[in-house]
Amino acid sequence: MIVFGFTAGNFSPAQAQFLRRLKEHAKKKIKREAERRSERRIDRGIDKTYDKIEEKIDNAGKKKKNNEQPNAEAHEGNSSDNNGKSESGLQTGQSNLQWDRYDFVPGDVVIFEDGPSGDEEIGEFPSRWDLYKGNAEIVELNGQTAIVFPHGGSIVPYLKNSKKDYLPEVFTIELDVRFPKGSSSSGNRIWISLADLKNNRTGGKEAELEITPHGLEFGESSGDYPGTENRPWAYEKTGDWHHISIAYTRGKFKAYFDDTRLINIPHLEVNPTGITITVDGYAADKDKDFKYIRNVRIAKGGVKYYKRVMTDGKIIINGIKFDVNKATLRPESMGPINKIYRLMKKNPDLRFSIEGHTDSDGDAGFNQKLSERRAKVVMNKLIAMGIDPSRLKYKGWGESKPIDTNNTPEGKANNRRVEFVKF
């Protein structure tokens, strides 16, 4: 609680008037925050009740579903040895893929991509970004490169057209974030502004998604995972990476925390023009309190899957992602896979050749085998979900059929794709 203790007699009339206004403003802010937290607690209670009801319904339906569909892990295990690796040594296990309701589908064409690259020099500022304020640097964390903000900072994509509106009418943004384990400080926050605050403020800072260790907020719209009301909003229990996804379609704004959609705004009043990522500067215990980001991608949207396959005879997807140099599906891949599954269920005559493609990094022979393994894993996943095997086949093309340059991170991202070719 904030307590103000002062007497007007100790100050000039102007100073006393200012302090009275400050006190009134603080009281209003405290009241608004109390009301807001109370509403959120009530909402979470209601959500928990409905979650329990839905869980009972889902569990009742699972018995029937299990009789109709093969087990995903059992089916995929047929092509692997006991260590979860295929005969080529590439991991194919997918036991952690549980995002069966995830409906986020990335845009078709990547317009900004940063891993960051393993070629980045540790300790230096990330080369794919520009600094707005504070600080950021490249670090290696558990064998992978990431961007850390030792004392907080704001960064914007380093683009040639950064002074213009570089976000199209339909776009998606994805990134992974990591908060320090066990920290409950009020500084555990990351913001994504839908404006380039250094080069182009047209979008306005008020269009800002706030990320906490277990939830998202956007203006008056907020959401938290059920059951988190008993711990501080900034408390990170595990210290794991979380995947954040944003989808914008001509005014409609959605945001996801891992596999759950928490924000759904039908008409966003502000026009997004760029992005700024800001990380809170609180770091009381050095690296134990640092926040990290990685795998940032901005992509331009496209036409719906059915229209694409009817027009072009195939669907090109770069949103099906794998671990580096492996055939292990990443959880966020389930958005496009779920959409393909629903498309095939709705159109029983559709048959697809699932074809994997890579960029040109590394050995061509390895890339060829890698693309085959990845295509097979996607096929197996769809079969495990209930698609008849006779409607699917797979093929790998390695790096032999690029659709973009291999000289930029964005071009490489577009070349790393899975195509669903009608046959």
- CATH number for the domain harbouring residue 189: 2.60.120.560
Q: Domain end: 251, 279, 300, which one? A: 300
Please check whether residue 405 is in contact with residue 411, taking contact to mean a CB–CB distance below 8 angstroms.
yes
* CB-based burial, 399-421: b 16+ in 10 Å, e otherwise: beebebeeeebbbbbbbbbbbbb
Residues 123 and 31 in one domain: no
* CB-based burial, 146-180: b 16+ in 10 Å, e otherwise: bbbbbebbbbbbebeeeeeebbbebbbbbbbbbbb
**pLDDT (mean) for 305-330:** 92
Residues 189 and 312 in one domain: no
Residue 3, in any domain of the structure: no
Least confident of 112-116, 131-135, 185-189, 418-422: 185-189
How does residue 223 score in pLDDT terms, banded at 50, 70 and 90? low
Q: Provide the 8-state DSSP code for 322.
A: B
Name every residue whose Cβ is closer than 8 Å to that of residue 158 and which is 6 or more positions away in sequence: 127, 128, 129, 130
Number of domains in the chain: 3
Name every residue whose Cβ is closer than 8 Å to that of residue 114 and which is 6 or more positions away in sequence: 126, 128, 129, 157, 295, 296, 297, 409
**pLDDT (mean) for 227-236:** 63
Q: Domain end: 258, 280, 300, which one? A: 300
Residues 264 and 392 in one domain: no
pLDDT at 82 over 70: no
Name every residue whose Cβ is closer than 8 Å to that of residue 163 and which is 6 or more positions away in sequence: 199, 200
Q: Domain end: 267, 300, 333, which one? A: 300
pLDDT at 203 over 90: no
Residue 8, in any domain of the structure: no
Least confident of 97-101, 175-179, 414-418: 97-101
**pLDDT (mean) for 357-365:** 95
Residues 319 and 356 in one domain: yes
How many CB atoms neighbour CB 212 within 10 A?
21
The beta strand positions in 135-214, using DSSP E, are 137-141, 144-148, 153-157, 170-178, 190-193, 208-212
More confident residue, 192 or 54: 192
Distances (CA, A) of 332 to 175, 259, 366: 11, 7, 24
Tell me the average pLDDT of the chain: 80
DSSP β-ladder status, 352-357 and 144-148: unpaired
pLDDT given at position 67: 43
**pLDDT (mean) for 143-156:** 93
pLDDT given at position 170: 95
β-strand partners of 155: 131, 277
How does residue 185 score in pLDDT terms, banded at 50, 70 and 90? low
Three-state secondary-structure class, residue 138: strand
The beta strand positions in 10-143, using DSSP E, are 109-114, 129-134, 137-141
How does residue 157 score in pLDDT terms, banded at 50, 70 and 90? very high
Residue 7, in any domain of the structure: no
Residues 113 and 127 in one domain: yes
pLDDT at 7 over 70: no
d(CA 418, CA 355): 6
pLDDT at 355 over 80: yes
Residues 147 and 243 in one domain: yes
**pLDDT (mean) for 244-252:** 94
Residue 311, in any domain of the structure: yes
CATH of the domain at 308: 3.30.1330.60
Query: Position of tokens 């009972």?
Result: 56
β-strand partners of 190: 211, 279
**pLDDT (mean) for 56-76:** 40
pLDDT given at position 22: 60
Residue 103, in any domain of the structure: no
Residue 355, in any domain of the structure: yes
Three-state secondary-structure class, residue 378: helix
Residues 141 and 85 in one domain: no
- Nearest-CA neighbor of 141 among 174, 114, 118? 118
How does residue 32 score in pLDDT terms, banded at 50, 70 and 90? low
pLDDT given at position 51: 46
Residues 296 and 309 in one domain: no
Residue 57, in any domain of the structure: yes
Residues 218 and 277 in one domain: yes
Please check whether residue 341 is in contact with residue 382, taking contact to mean a CB–CB distance below 8 angstroms.
yes
User: Which domain range does residue 42 map to?
Assistant: 13-68
Residues 92 and 171 in one domain: no
Dihedral over Cα of 255, 260, 262, 266: its sign: positive
Chain centroid, CA 283 distance in Å: 24
Does the global pTM surpass 0.85? Answer: no
Please check whether residue 278 is in contact with residue 190, taking contact to mean a CB–CB distance below 8 angstroms.
yes
Residue 82, in any domain of the structure: yes
Least confident of 128-142, 227-241, 255-269, 333-347: 227-241
Sheet bearing 190-193, strands edge to edge: 129-134, 153-157, 276-279, 190-193, 208-212, 215-218, 221-224
pLDDT at 99 over 80: yes
How does residue 92 score in pLDDT terms, banded at 50, 70 and 90? very low
Residues 339 and 294 in one domain: no
Residues 171 and 125 in one domain: yes
